[in-house]
Amino acid sequence: MTNQEVIIRKPRECELSALGEIWHTVFGTVGAKSFFDNIYNVEQTIIAEAWGKPAAMGHIIPAGELVCREHTLSCAMLYGIATLPEHRGMGLGKKVTSELIETAFGQGFEAVILCPSEESLYEYYSKNTKMTDWFYAKEIVMTFPIAAHSGSKLYLTPVSPVQYMEHRNRLLKDIPYINSSIKILEYQKKLCDELGGGLYKIGDSSAIVEIQPDGAVHVKELLTLNDDIDDVIACLTTSYEANEYIIRVPAQKDTNGINAERINAADINAASRFGMLALKDDILLDLNSCNFLPWYGMAFE
């Protein structure tokens, strides 16, 4: 297939089922109905047409605001970038991603964010698009639950997307982060409902919990201000029994203070890159001036 036979464009309304087929082929069924019913926007979608049919796609989601010191930038998330297996190796993902970035800037967004689905894609996007590494996170991996300290009064309190957003903003006020739009959090709540889990307050902390298809409990965002992270984790793990727990915290969280022995064979990973950023040409952000590494938050991965 030659480059002339590939067309990068917005989809037609009649191609929605074809986009659904790409989603199901690449991602499975999780999130498809919630996304296309509540998030999908034909004006914020780019496809690569090959042989007259959609072969790759990607989407822009208005994500809220990127907050970094004195900067507050309107932010778009790139999401659901996918290529059908038979069309891979043709650079369609690169073309779709580059067009998504330019479309987002053309629609007035000042910052574009992306969470690559694989480690190798960081180099791919850095080389082929305007994206650069910017967001970081730590992960705590556990293989069985721990018990709370005797006398602990922590428990999970389900909250609405609006309540979670308000609490989340207080916890992240000193960190460069995405002040997520209510639409983003409503979508996350739908994913939690679909997979099992929810949006929670735990004392002064907050958490987003999903149950993965393999049964692992994925705490996609655990935010704490105090030194009670051991008891917060205990509250989560005793509320959700599983063979594995994957808990994501901001990169600056002092995981050295976690009682690793009490957490029982936890693997506490060092901070690693988690997301990428592209800015309009006239905007500069000096990461070196920030006191903490930026936090991406929920990525719908």
Q: Domain ranges in the chain?
A: 3-135+273-289, 137-272
Q: What is the pLDDT of residues 238-262, one digit of tens each?
A: 899 898 999 999 987 765 555 555 4
Per-residue tokens: 55: 């072969």
Decide: 209 and 236 in contact? Cβ < 8 Å.
yes
Q: Do domains 3-135+273-289 and 137-272 have the same CATH topology?
A: yes
What's the rounded mean pLDDT across residues 98-116? 97
What's the rounded mean pLDDT across residues 14-26? 97
pLDDT over threshold 80, residue 101? yes
For tokens 């957490």, what's the residue? Answer: 263
Q: Name the CATH architecture for the domain at 3-135+273-289.
A: 3-Layer(aba) Sandwich (3.40)
Cα 134 → chain centroid = 13
pLDDT over threshold 50, residue 265? no
Decide: 50 and 90 in contact? Cβ < 8 Å.
yes
Q: What b/e readout covers 230-252, taking b as 16+ CB neighbours within 10 angstroms?
A: bbbbbbbbeebebeebbbbbbbb
- Percentages helix, strand, coil for the chain, rounded to the nearest 5? 35, 35, 35
What's the rounded mean pLDDT across residues 10-20? 97
Amino acid present at 250: P
The domain made up of 137-272 is a member of CATH 3.30.450.20: no
Residue 63, pLDDT score: 96
Distance set, CA 105 to CA 73, 75, 97, 177 (Å):
12, 10, 13, 20
What's the rounded mean pLDDT across residues 92-106? 97
Length of the chain: 301
Sign, CA dihedral 210-211-212-217, equals: positive
- pLDDT confidence bin for 290, thresholds 50/70/90: low
Q: What is the DSSP letter of 42?
A: G
Give this prediction's pTM: 0.90
Residue 221, pLDDT score: 96
The pairing of strands 217-223 and 197-202 is unpaired
Collapsing DSSP states into helix, strand and coil, what is residue 31?
Answer: coil
Decide: 229 and 152 in contact? Cβ < 8 Å.
no
Q: What is the pLDDT of residues 55-98, one digit of tens each?
A: 999 999 999 999 987 889 999 999 999 999 999 999 999 999 99
What's the rounded mean pLDDT across residues 26-32? 93
Amino acid present at 142: M
Q: What is the pLDDT of residues 202-229, one digit of tens each?
A: 999 999 999 998 999 999 999 998 667 8
Q: What is the mean pLDDT of the chain?
A: 89
Dist CA 144 CA 245 (whole Å): 7
